[in-house]
Chain A
């Protein structure tokens, strides 16, 4: 059993009277692939917002790492520096800049403005960029502007940027949306590979994609955990069928 990396402990958040997250608690190990599924409005994206510091919860704790540091109250940049990377639903890369520049910006280096001003890429940095490009299948596109890439390639570039950050936890929001079947397969491979050395949490709608990830599944409903276990286990759960799958 791997040690625990992230502990979400009793968080609740209310938007204008609507309880988006209701006393949510669960744990994620340090090298684990986890899928989070749930119907629309179950609080999947809000959960990511809370962990990455975008939304402040009304109560509860998010404990991180061996030191059990509370992430609540830290800003987004600090949390990212702690080692949490996030991929958005829509591919968000810097379209005006080359694939290489995008990856260089994401590389794990000093983030302070003065250090960045005088920073020059070393050979090790360039090697890391070409390794990453090979991993996400963009070796031939390094000099191209990322705005010219296809939708799927942008998704991979964003995953590549996340890997470049060398995070210990990767939060991925609907990575397979709008991808062709071959692209989905490649995406699955990248995520499974990444989860060997770090924790990867995938929020997904598509059951086929989740089945291919072949990992532990957490079902959210109305802001709290409804069921947890293998996909077959949760899909056999009568409550899950009622709220989500049975419709």
Chain B
């Protein structure tokens, strides 16, 4: 057992158990399958939170393990959302257009329907033509493939250019941030082909599905939980073996890894691309639950939030990333959703909607300075108490009187 994958990483089992219990509990409390204790919109919030946890795992791989502070992973997340959003919007609009044309005295031709969809979708940006990037929008399979291929390809090209030139540290962070900003500014333009600042909307409606949002929300919740479980196991597998050794080596001393004969650039590129794909999948599950995606989602601030979650949760441990993303994004929902009561100081009223970002910023500074292990570091305290690894040293008071070995036999 000690040498198996799970045996070496007992935290995986604990994580999966917690996730399973959580998923089942929420299912039985939902409006669709149980008591209706929690609202459908809160189920969606929780499902979205699981997607954020998945992208945080990807961020932890690239930042916590390989030491590359990427401020671009939310761009990959958004691209994944756009890719699935194109299919959802196309098919949904097709249903509506075909429905309204069905009453016409002359049945509409295929081209008329496509033109009708184009007018519906692109009317807001003053166009009715389908841009070339929508050429696969009628195929669910191809758009699902694009969910991983588009972020993956962008990461591959960008990473190849950046890593090959040996851009590292804060310069690489700035470069990734510039990429994110450029992408978001491009998408804001009306002629980008993705409806400019309107973004894609109505994504919560699944084409051909008549079930109510109560059910759709719980399906997406399950899918998000499954994706997080699979993504977590995959990430744990990547970091558990020699590959994990090498990337942690790159984080701690890049030059040394190079002189050991490993192509540092190749490893970085591989990890950058794989994590971008994971981010794309997370985004493709997130935005149908959010219902809308627009370029503001891709703005650099989102990627910075991602780094803050991972830092607060604990870098270099996968469950830390999950805890950080879940904790901070739920607390953030609480404060920005108007649920937190205002504090009246007499001369000034603290409104949490405005002050939450300041609180978050302060806690980020606090964690960085005083608790670099983050929330996940708390688990070390418990783990150390339970397994005092004394390397066989005697427990005293007389030498050899209470050896560790005797206690276990």
Answer whether residue A106 sits at the interface, using C-beta atoms and an 8 A cutoff. yes
Inter-chain CA distance A119–B241, complex, in Å, is 8
Inter-chain CA distance A94–B266, complex, in Å, is 20
Inter-chain CA distance A97–B260, complex, in Å, is 16
Taking a contact as CB atoms under 8 Å apart, the answer to whether A77 and B248 are in contact is no
**Selected A-B contacts with CB under 8 Å, 12 pairs:** A75-B263, A77-B261, A77-B263, A85-B259, A92-B253, A111-B261, A113-B266, A113-B267, A116-B246, A117-B238, A120-B241, A144-B391
Answer whether residue A30 sits at the interface, using C-beta atoms and an 8 A cutoff. no
CB-CB contacts of B249-275 with A at 8 A, as 1s and 0s?
100110110111111101100100000
Answer whether residue A81 sits at the interface, using C-beta atoms and an 8 A cutoff. yes
Q: Which residues of A contact B261 (CB under 8 A)?
A: 77, 80-81, 111, 165
Interface footprint category on A: 20 to 34
> What is the interface of chain A mostly: helix, strand, loop, or mixed?
loop
CB distance from B121 to the nearest CB of A (A): 41
Taking a contact as CB atoms under 8 Å apart, the answer to whether B242 and A105 are in contact is yes
Which residues of A, 163-206, contact B by the 8 Å Cβ criterion?
A: 165
Which of B248, B255, B263 contacts A111, CB < 8 Å? B263
Taking a contact as CB atoms under 8 Å apart, the answer to whether B263 and A94 are in contact is no
Answer whether residue B42 sits at the interface, using C-beta atoms and an 8 A cutoff. no
Inter-chain CA distance A12–B66, complex, in Å, is 36
Interface footprint category on B: 20 to 34
Answer whether residue A86 sits at the interface, using C-beta atoms and an 8 A cutoff. yes
Which of B241, B258, B263, B391 contacts A117, CB < 8 Å? B241
Which of B238, B256, B266 contacts A92, CB < 8 Å? B256
Answer whether residue B245 sits at the interface, using C-beta atoms and an 8 A cutoff. yes
Q: Which residues of A contact B270 (CB under 8 A)?
A: 113
Answer whether residue A42 sits at the interface, using C-beta atoms and an 8 A cutoff. no
Taking a contact as CB atoms under 8 Å apart, the answer to whether B262 and A94 are in contact is no
Taking a contact as CB atoms under 8 Å apart, the answer to whether A52 and B256 are in contact is no
Q: Which residues of A contact B267 (CB under 8 A)?
A: 113
CB distance from B101 to the nearest CB of A (A): 52
Q: Which residues of A contact B255 (CB under 8 A)?
A: 54, 76, 92
Taking a contact as CB atoms under 8 Å apart, the answer to whether B260 and A116 are in contact is no
Answer whether residue A88 sits at the interface, using C-beta atoms and an 8 A cutoff. yes
Answer whether residue A161 sits at the interface, using C-beta atoms and an 8 A cutoff. yes
Inter-chain CA distance A81–B252, complex, in Å, is 21
Q: Which residues of A contact B256 (CB under 8 A)?
A: 88, 92-94
Which residues of A, 98-128, contact B by the 8 Å Cβ criterion?
A: 101, 104-106, 111-113, 116-117, 119-121
Q: Which residues of B contact A52 (CB under 8 A)?
A: 259
Taking a contact as CB atoms under 8 Å apart, the answer to whether A161 and B252 are in contact is no
Inter-chain CA distance A104–B258, complex, in Å, is 15
